[in-house]
Amino acid sequence: MSGASIILEDGSLLSRLDRLYFKIESFLTLIGGIAIFALVILAVANALGRWIFNLPVTGYIDWVEQVMAVMAFGGLAYSQRIGGHIRMDIFLSVMKGRTLWITELVTTLFMLFITLVLTYGSYLHFYRAFTNGDSSMDIGLPIWPAKLVVPFAFAVLTLRLLLQIWGYIRAIKNNDIQPVGVPLIEDAATQALREAKSVEGKEND
């Protein structure tokens, strides 16, 4: 399942770094949201321009290709921090203590390996486009800026994974029940109760 998980905080160095890095991740996610909004505006302008004036936006497809990278990859690390990616929580929810943290550590290490491979491969893809001067088909936009977004986003995700690995190692060492800096699994009832309280609080405001 997927969905935001609870993240505990304290005064430790790990927690402080987690909160600081989350601000960076939130900013990148905001940029991704702005990119989505820009695509919507561009699509409306293109449709209305074609319909009313028979004059679509020049290079519409080229601009969409550029912005799609920001939209798709901007929130990777943010989603990882809050536990928003697809996870098999049905198995993890029955584990407790060190067994759970060891399992989480192993899977996070595997994800780190995959992310490093993707970072390296996407960087080579960007570098090839940069050195060859690749451009879009219609209006000749340089392609390398959009391709640079991908390894950058994976690099940001790599640092998030390293922070979570630190958190899981710390949890294993201390046998923590609820460690800080890592997404903690909540059952459906707890999630529903927390969301209901959140909505109730907004209504009271």
pLDDT in tens, 108-145: 999 999 999 999 999 999 999 999 999 988 898 999 99
In contact, 187 and 38? CB cutoff 8 Å: no
Query: Percentage of the chain with pLDDT > 90?
Result: 62
138 φ/ψ angles, rounded to the nearest 5 degrees: -85, -65
Is 187 exposed, middle or buried (CB count within 10 Å of its CB: 0-12, 13-18, 19+)? exposed
pLDDT value, residue 191: 63
pLDDT value, residue 124: 97
pLDDT greater than 90 at residue 201: no
Single out the residue of 177, 162, 173, 175 nearest to residue 14, CA to CA.
Answer: 162
pLDDT value, residue 194: 64
pLDDT value, residue 77: 95
Confidence of residue 16 (pLDDT cuts 50, 70, 90): very high
pLDDT value, residue 192: 65
Q: What is the pLDDT of residues 47-83, one digit of tens each?
A: 999 999 888 999 999 999 899 999 999 999 999 998 8
User: The tokens of 146 are what?
Assistant: 């959009």
In three-state form (DSSP H/G/I as H, E/B as E, the rest C), the secondary structure along the chain is: CCCCCEEECCCCHHHHHHHHHHHHHHHHHHHHHHHHHHHHHHHHHHHHHHHHCCCCCCCHHHHHHHHHHHHHHCCHHHHHHCCCCCCCHHHHCCCCHHHHHHHHHHHHHHHHHHHHHHHHHHHHHHHHHHHHCCECCCCCCECHHHHHHHHHHHHHHHHHHHHHHHHHHHHHHHCCCCCECCEECCCHHHHHHHHHHHHHHHHHC
Single out the residue of 89, 78, 50, 93 nearest to residue 156, CA to CA.
Answer: 78
pTM for the complete prediction? 0.86
Angle at 123 between CA 42 and CA 119, to 5 degrees: 95
CB atoms near residue 132 (< 10 Å): 10
Cβ neighbours for 187, distance < 8 A, ≥ 6 positions apart: 93
